[in-house]
Amino acid sequence: MATYKDLRARTGLSLATISKYYNGGNVLEENRVAIERAALGLGYRVNGFARSLRTKKSRTIGVLLPKLDNEFHLTVIAGAEAALRLHGISVLVCAGSDTPGAAVEFLLSKMVDGIIAVPTEHDRDALQTAVSRGVPLVLVDRLLDGLASDAVVLDNELAARQAVEHLAAAGHIRIAALVGDQKSWTMRKRRSGFLAAMSHAGLAAHPNEVIAGPLTVAAGRAEVNRLLVAPSRPSAVVCFNYELTVGALIAINEHGIAVPEELSVVGFDSVELAQVTRPRLSMITQPTAQIAAQAAALIYARLSVDPSPRMHTVVTLASEFVPGGSVGPPGE
């Protein structure tokens, strides 16, 4: 594999000049073409290791995700990768693992220049130390208590409001909600947003129809199950997370409940599902591509400038309500 020395042999230039060329410095036109021709002839490519060794920059950012089984997270990778590749920056993917902090450690050991994370509680300490080491960090989807950082999140209150208002407009009075794991910042926001929207709409939220629980398909299914077998049931349900939505749909199918005649349903993040359910699912969606792009932009900004910022930017993006056929007037 060719090196600067080979280029020097072909061009008669010094290493310093060649380096300058490869780093956007000013070089005589004449020399530029000489270098370019030599490089082409030799099939030369700069050696990232040597460069990184010297500059202490890897031009790589790590993306940390809790699990790799989630369309939303997928889109974050995709968007970030695309945006950063334009700057010649690559993306190291790491899915959270068993041992807390291991994933972050792994990324750091690979010398990533920054981290984009959809964090879990497990990662808090490791991320904290990363930040204190001066590694730029951008949180996505959720904030972590006690961890100051740049972030890009959904306007979860807005999301809740959109769902409630849509249902209220259709005449629903008694609206249930699957609000998931209340240890999660995001789910807390959605829950409080839901409650706020309800009272703002002049509706009462039945405490035991605002159901917290794990963010799993099984939990969503069980919870909706419980709603459906109760002697009296709500006329609508909002599922505040993808897994919960899937679980809810399964339970509804199992009970043979007619949507929206017997029960109106609003889902979350279910772009793909929405189109194949009959009727189409009304849902709240996140601008995933935008989120990823923003995250990439934020981290890129941190990379190029102000290394140890005293101010953090939290970008809040609006959710969008996509009406389908799963919301109708309340039954009977």
Report residue 16 as tokens.
């310093």
Q: Counting contacts by CB under 8 A, is residue 74 touching a copy of itself?
A: yes
The C-alpha atoms of residue 160 and residue 197 are separated, in whole angstroms, by 7
Instruction: Report the site for DNA in 28-67 (rule: CB under 7 A).
Output: 28, 30-31, 44, 46-47, 49-51, 53-55
Amino acid identity at 246: V
- The structure tokens listed for 187 are 């789910």
**If contact means CB under 5 to 8 A according to the sort of partner, which of DNA, a copy of itself, none does residue 315 touch?**
none
Pair of tokens at residue 93: 């993917």
Choices 60-68, 156-164, 208-216, 231-239; region in contact with a copy of itself by CB under 8 A: 60-68
Residue 308, phi then psi, degrees to nearest 5: -120, 85
Residue 92 binding a copy of itself, by CB under 8 A: yes
| Max intra-chain CA distance, the chain | 89
Closest CA to 120 of 185, 62, 44: 185
The string of DSSP codes covering 19-57 is: HHHHTT----HHHHHHHHHHHHHHT----HHHHHHHH--
Nearer to a copy of itself, 145 or 272 (CB): 272
Task: Return the one option of DNA, a copy of itself, none that residue 14 interacts with (CB less than 5 to 8 A, by type).
Answer: DNA
Give dist(CA 112, CA 61) in Å, integer.
5
Q: Does 131 participate in binding a copy of itself (rule CB under 8 A)?
A: no
For DNA, the binding residue among 22, 36, 173, 321 (CB under 7 A) is: 22
* Position among 2, 42, 77, 297 found at the interface with a copy of itself (CB under 8 A): 77
Contacts to a copy of itself by CB under 8 A = 45, 47-50, 52-53, 58, 60, 67-69, 71, 74-75, 77-78, 81-82, 85, 90-95, 97, 106, 108-111, 217, 246, 249-250, 253, 272-273, 275-278, 280
> Which residues contact DNA (rule: CB under 7 A)?
1, 3-5, 12-20, 22-23, 26-28, 30-31, 44, 46-47, 49-51, 53-55
